[in-house]
Structure 1
Amino acid sequence: MKSNTYNYLAIVLLLILSASCTHAISELEARRKNDKGLVEFNNRRLDNAIVLFKDAMTHKDISVNTLAMIYRNTAQVYMDMELQDSAIHYSTLAANCFEKDSYEHLVSMADVQLLNDEVQVAITTLERAYKLKPTDMPVNNSLGLIYLGQYGYDFLDLEKALLHNKQAFAMNRDGNTEYLLARNYYELERFPEAEKHFKNLSREYPENLDHTVFLGMIKYKLGANTEAEEHWNNVLAINPDYQVVIDSFKEEMEAEL
Structure 2
Amino acid sequence: MSVLNSEDIGKRIRDIRLGLSASKKVSLEAFGQLIIPPASKGLVQTWEKGNSLPQKERLEQIAQIGNVSIAYLLYGKEINGYGERIRKIREEKFCVSPEIFGRLFDPIVSPERVEAWENENALPNWQEIMRISSLTNLSHKAILFGMEEPLLEHHTRMLNPDIEFEKTQAALRNANLDTSGYFNSDFIFLETNRLRLAQLSDPDNVSDYTDYLGATTFVFGIGDEPLTSNLFETIEDEIDDSIDKINRILEKRKAMLLDKYKEN
TM-score in terms of structure 1 length: 0.24
Higher relative contact order (CA 8 A, sep 6+): 2
More helix by share: 1
The structure having more radius of gyration, on CA atoms, is 2
TM-score in terms of structure 2 length: 0.23
